Structure 1
Amino acid sequence: MSRYHLAQDTRKCIGCHACEVQCKANKKLPQGPRLCQIVEVGPKMISGLPRTSFVFMLCFHCENPWCVAACPTGAMQQRASDGIVFVEHDLCVGCKTCIAACPWGAPQWQPELGKVVKCDYCKDRIDQGLKPACVTTCTTQCLEFGEGQAMTEKKRKRHAEAVTTFENGSF
């Protein structure tokens, strides 16, 4: 499993898609492949009011990634140091096996290159001590990036606070 985790506070997300735009700009991607995506859920009625939420989707950087196992050329790789799953483009022959193997749709086809691209948490930026491009541009700071355990604890705390606030009638 990846040492890192990228989490979203859905209560803060306004669905502006700045993360998607910044990802495309950072990776110089044309129209088409989306390495991260904002998925709109709703609207649905909550307490008599229509509500829409936005869910940030990207590669999960699985512990045992099916895309890596399926790749016949070794182009789809996982870094031993931190578990980040990435594509070594020089080895990719464009067979799309990794796309078929991933149940989450993380690997995307880039027709201009004739190769697969996918989220790699902006590993070049991480190696420089920076956060992924999508996190740095998030207008509401609903995206957080960090070490897995620390991010899990933040998420648990946020959930506990939300439940406590709701139960006390302040929600």
Structure 2
Amino acid sequence: MNKYMIYLNGKRCIGCHGCEVHCKANKNLPVGPQLCEIDHSVMVKIKSVPKTEFTFRSCYHCEEPFCAPICPTNAMIKREDGIVYIDQEKCIGCMACAGACPWTIPQLNPETGKAVKCDYCMDRVDAGLRPACVTKCTTHALKFVIMQEVV
């Protein structure tokens, strides 16, 4: 079973937030929910010169997701390839998944009243493509990889 992950090369990221924009556009999300984000709050000093380091945050698609067993309608599903997604037909928007997630990843879509989270654009992955955030990264700082290849 492949376990995918999105890897950020911090040396290439310029913090443009293009990944966030393309993610929202691909998922047709309203203002509010954000399925991925670039955080530039990490400051380091390199040879006494301050430098901002960026981190990429989205769903971690846990090996044993805390969000799945707590869902009262079994809307949170883990595929054989490790992708964890929300079945929008089953989701009732109770947000128990967000409460169970240590990183509070699932968010409420105010337009649908249902939970949303990163699913690695699984429709694109199934078609042999990369997630929208990775495809549209202008500096190619994001990579969609099989975890076994990275480790």
Q: Shorter-chain TM-score: what band?
A: over 0.9
Q: 5+ unaligned residues in a row in structure 1: which ranges?
A: 153-171
Match of 1:103 in 2: 102
Query: Which one has the bigger strand percentage?
Result: 2
Secondary structure at the aligned position of 2:135 is classed as helix
Secondary structure at the aligned position of 1:135 is classed as helix
How far 1:44 sits from its partner (Å)? 4.2
Higher RCO (C-alpha under 8 Å, 6+ residues apart): 2
Match of 2:34 in 1: 34
Secondary structure at the aligned position of 1:37 is classed as strand
Q: 1:1-171 alignment to 2 at 5 Å? A: 3-79=3-79, 81-152=80-151
How far 1:2 sits from its partner (Å)? 6.0
CA RMSD of aligned residues (A): 1.4
Query: What amino acid maps onto 1:137 in structure 2?
Result: K
Q: Could you report, residue by residue, the CA deviation over 1:118-145 in whole angstroms, capped at 9, with x for unpaired residues?
A: 0000000000000000000001111111
TM-score by length of 2: 0.95
Structure with greater Cα Rg:
1
TM-score by length of 1: 0.84
Structure 1 distance, partners of 2:59, 2:2, is 11
**Number of aligned residues:** 151
How far 1:105 sits from its partner (Å)? 2.0
Secondary structure at the aligned position of 2:133 is classed as helix
Query: Which one has the bigger helix percentage?
Result: 1
Q: 5+ unaligned residues in a row in structure 2: which ranges?
A: none
